[in-house]
Amino acid sequence: MRPMLSIATAAVFLATAFAVQAGGDPAAGKTKAKACAGCHGATGQGVKPNPKLAGLPEAELDQMMKDYKSGKRPNPVMKSMTSSLSEQDMANLAAYYSSLK
């Protein structure tokens, strides 16, 4: 269990460092988020069964989108939603949703 934990910690740390470096633009993210609103709600509040995105940490949102895109977190819906997003798009979306309450 211990090595697993430290790998997870390192991954979170790297994701945080990367997201800060990438510096998402919330205004650009808001434009892209029109495609997400149908499921996640106009303000990212979540509409069952679609999870809430508003107010989650930026690095976490960024990583979750990357994991869907890569297939590391398997989900057909989110895989297709993220397939056309660039790294910058995902950083912008993460910045936007983390800025919401």
Residue 54 engages ligand HEC in binding (rule: CB under 6 A): no
- How many residues bind ligand HEC (CB under 6 A)? The answer is 18
Q: Do 92 and 78 touch, CB atoms closer than 8 A?
A: no
**14 versus 95: smaller Cβ distance to ligand HEC:** 95
Residue 78 engages ligand HEC in binding (rule: CB under 6 A): yes
Q: Do 94 and 36 touch, CB atoms closer than 8 A?
A: no
Distance CA 52, CA 54 (A): 6
Q: Which residues bind ligand HEC (CB under 6 A)?
A: 35-36, 38-40, 49-51, 53, 61, 64-65, 73, 75, 77-78, 81, 93
